[in-house]
Amino acid sequence: MFIGHFAPALIAAAVAPERPRLGTMFVAAQLVDWGFFTLALLGVEAMRIDPAASVMVPFDLYHMPYTHSLIGTAIWAGAMLGVVAIWQHSLRLGVLAGLVVLSHWLLDWTVHVPDLTIDGTPPNLGLGLWDYPWAAIPLELGLTAGALAFYLRRTRGPAGPPMVLAGVMLVLQAANWFAPHPASAGPFLYLQALTAFAILTGLAAWVGENRWFRKRGNLAFALQ
């Protein structure tokens, strides 16, 4: 799953008590993937290209105990909770960010072939929707579109920034699904993924700075 991970980020930003912190929530949504590709660059976690891994995604994610085990994800979520709570002076915002991080494992569990774990050791878990494109594609697009609609309904601001974000998300998702995959895993692939995350996070921060919560009577306000 790629852009579907940002659905919880959009929902969390829409219900946050402060001005929508969409950039922060986008970081939370992909925090464990930020961690995975960084650790892969350092040789701590690992993957390889295997066209037989699944119908949709030729990635054999055979060693990622620190980021994609449930316990590992929970540790990342706890760290995000603490950082955001201290930085934003809001425990509620920190809890929302932590829940967005935790959602990453649950969403991956729906689409990954069994390569996720509880604590980094077998059994390997995953419902394997990547083997069923007719289910995985509508699920990812539906989650993202529904969450974006909810975010836009709960906030007010210019239409341009969120439409740009949505367009770039669709382009990157299409590339993820349909562009030729590299013959082997390596630094170029890892940096490419990190660059995609950075682009979307920057756009999300831009969108968040231009959105305000709707109030009764359709009045808008922003906490400065």
| Distance from C-alpha of 145 to C-alpha of 137, rounded to nearest angstrom | 12
Q: Which of 102, 76, 81 lies closest to 91, judged by CA?
A: 81
Q: Which two tokens stand for residue 48?
A: 């390889």
Answer yes or no: is pLDDT of 220 > 50.
no
Among 53-57, 140-144, 181-185, the minimum mean pLDDT is found in 181-185
Per-residue model confidence (pLDDT) at position 181: 87
What's the number of domains the chain is made of? 1
Residue 142 clears pLDDT 90, i.e. is over it: yes
83 exposed, middle or buried (CB, 10 Å; 0-12, 13-18, 19+)?
middle
Q: Are strands 155-156 and 59-63 parallel, antiparallel or unpaired?
A: unpaired
- Report the alpha-carbon distance of residue 58 to residue 134 in Å, rounded: 17
Closest of 131, 67, 130 to residue 104, by C-alpha: 67
How sure is the predictor about 130, in pLDDT bands with cuts at 50, 70 and 90?
very high
Measure the CA angle with vertex 205, ends 202 and 210; round to 5°: 130
| Nearest one of 26, 20, 25, 8 to 172, comparing CA atoms | 26
Type and span of the H or E element at 7: helix 6-15
As a whole number, mean pLDDT of residues 109-113 equals 98
Instruction: Name the residue range of residue 147's domain.
Output: 3-221
Residues 6+ apart with CB under 8 A from 221: 212, 213, 215
Q: What pLDDT does 164 receive?
A: 98
In this predicted structure, what is the pLDDT of residue 86? Answer: 94
d(CA 210, CA 137): 30
Q: Which residue shows structure tokens 């968040």? A: 208
State the Cα–Cα distance between residues 120 and 211, nearest whole angstrom. Answer: 40
Residue 17 pLDDT class (50, 70, 90 cuts): low
- Residue 58's pLDDT is 95
CA distances from 167 to 131, 140, 144 (A): 26, 15, 12
Nearest 5°: the CA angle 29, 176, 178 is 155
Sheet order of strands, 212-214 included? 155-156, 212-214, 220-221
Q: Which residues contact 145 (CB under 8 A, 6 or more apart)?
A: none
Instruction: Indicate whether this model's pTM tops 0.85.
Output: yes
Q: How much is the average pLDDT of 137-141?
A: 97
Name the DSSP class of 131. G
